[in-house]
Amino acid sequence: MADKIIVGGVSVDTRHWIGGRRVASAETFADSSPIDGAVLGEIARGGPGEAQAAVAAAKAAFPGWAATSRGERARILHAIADGVEKRLEELAIVETTDNGALLRSHRRGVMPRVAHNFRFFADWLLKLGHEDFETRGHTNHVSWDPAGPCVLITPWNAPLMLATWKVAPALAAGNTVVLKPAEWSPLTASLLADIAAEAGLPAGVLNVVQGYGSEIGDALTSHPDVRRISFTGSVPTAKRIAGSAAANLTPLGLELGGKSPLLVFADADLDLAVDLAVEQYDNAGQVCLAATRFLVEETVAEEFTRRFVEKAGQLTQGDPRDEGTDIGPNIHPRQLEKIDGFVQRAVADGARVVIGGQRKDAQYYAPTLLTDVAQDSEIVQEEVFGPVLTLQTFSSEDEAIRLANDTRFGLAATLVTGDPERAERVTAQLVAGTVWVNCFFVRDLQAPFGGSRLSGVGREGGTWSFDFYCDLKNTVTAPNGWSRNHG
């Protein structure tokens, strides 16, 4: 196995990063590009041994990092952000080559946000506090103690963005980290390890191990020295992780899938509604937050559909490195098979294909809209994670709310209406971690992010992230300070 591969002109180390050293494995797995299916290289394939070594390194580094002052931790996180900005172009091209999402969005949106993740949590750490308060003359002081080694397991649809969303607050809080990126897009995590080391993060504070979840996952998530597990991915994997974490009752944060609705009322600005609807094809539909179920008021459904089809027809699908491309490839041939299975079963079930409905080739799935779908059908109830949307109609606000809430998920909801009172009424009844009114995908790290029901457990963002990554301690001191007598 070559220790380094060249991807988009950038050298990427294919080995794990454990205790401040590059470590190879006896076995490897092939990582290929969704753009053309070409193998990019052989990646070190970790198992239980590598998991043990990484957790041991994180455990050994913990006391030192936990004792590092907040100011110094924040300084190093800012230095990591500087490194991300310096290597932004390299990170963007490697990520695009590895996961197929648009280069222009990696350059202009995603990678600047990766740097921001570090800056934000560094700054938030310095503000983090709690007013001391008094109980019968005793002082209560709440401190945010670091929890210990954290295992962070991340998916392939937005690899570095979602990883750093966890890595940054975990490190800021004074914890050490074992990051396990997804096997379909492991490369930018390796670059992050380089950047963090260059920024002065001590050895063992951040460790990166690669491999198949089924081979390395259990050893990480059942490890008794691990104090937190944060996972973003699918519901079945989350259940396995929860089962494995149960051995030690390790606290879990889970950010899972969704089947979010886009509610379009007759009083909506239809152009806006269509703009937001077409956005749901972003990242080839591989977005947990995507509003994949259009619920449109009957009286405007025909007009909405007409305008949607016209607008969707203008989207360019192709190489994600081209500036003009709107929709790139799907991550892996297996994912395309899965997507197509959903569509073919829906059609067999009576769904009507408005647009798309098939693969374009081995890497790309045609943007698809299906109607005549039953509420209890698989295509309405299950997450596809591809460019496949459904459209249903409703005739009253109550029906809209009922349909919107009638899945096992509760990640997000988007509504488009010209009536502020309706927006307030409907929002209050929706089960969703995030509701967007007349907008989509506006996100602020200060806000709590996460899902209800099967969409997740817990919230990330701002103080919520520190709630998760810290062991809160309340210290009560007697009125006369250091008396031996109990007052």
C-alpha–C-alpha distance, residues 396 and 253, integer Å: 37
Q: Where are the beta strands (DSSP E) in 242-324?
A: 252-255, 260-264, 291-297
Rg of the chain over CA atoms, in angstroms?
24
At 364 the three-state DSSP class reads coil
Count CB atoms within 10 A of the CB of residue 278.
20
Which of 50, 150, 288, 297 is flagged as catalytic? 288
89 catalytic? Reply is no
Residue 131 Cβ vs ligand ADP, minimum distance, rounded to whole Å:
39
- When the beta carbons of 80 and 241 are compared against ligand ADP, the nearer one is 241
Strands across the sheet containing 16-18: 21-23, 16-18, 206-208, 176-180, 149-153, 228-232, 252-255, 456-457
C-alpha–C-alpha distance, residues 273 and 287, integer Å: 19
Answer yes or no: are the C-beta atoms of 417 and 423 closer than 8 Å. yes
Extract the tokens encoding 250.
């390790």
Kindly give the residue spans of alpha helices, DSSP state H, lying in 173-234. Answer: 187-198, 213-221
C-alpha–C-alpha distance, residues 434 and 456, integer Å: 12
Answer yes or no: are the C-beta atoms of 408 and 389 closer than 8 Å. no
288 catalytic? Reply is yes
Beta bridge partners of 291: 260
- When the beta carbons of 105 and 230 are compared against ligand ADP, the nearer one is 230
For 391, which DSSP code? E
Q: State the Cα angle at 371 between 367 and 376, rounded to 5°.
A: 115
Cα→Cα distances 425→404, 410, 436, 438, 447, Å? 14, 18, 14, 15, 21
- When the beta carbons of 104 and 180 are compared against ligand ADP, the nearer one is 180
Answer yes or no: are the C-beta atoms of 151 and 251 closer than 8 Å. no
- When the beta carbons of 237 and 390 are compared against ligand ADP, the nearer one is 237
Residue 111 Cβ vs ligand ADP, minimum distance, rounded to whole Å:
20
93, 97, 102, 103 alpha-carbon torsion, rounded to 10° = 10
Contact footprint for ligand ADP (CB under 6 A): 153-155, 180, 182-183, 213-214, 217-218, 221, 233-234, 237, 240-241
Distance between first and last Cα of the chain: 68
Active site residues per annotation? 255, 288
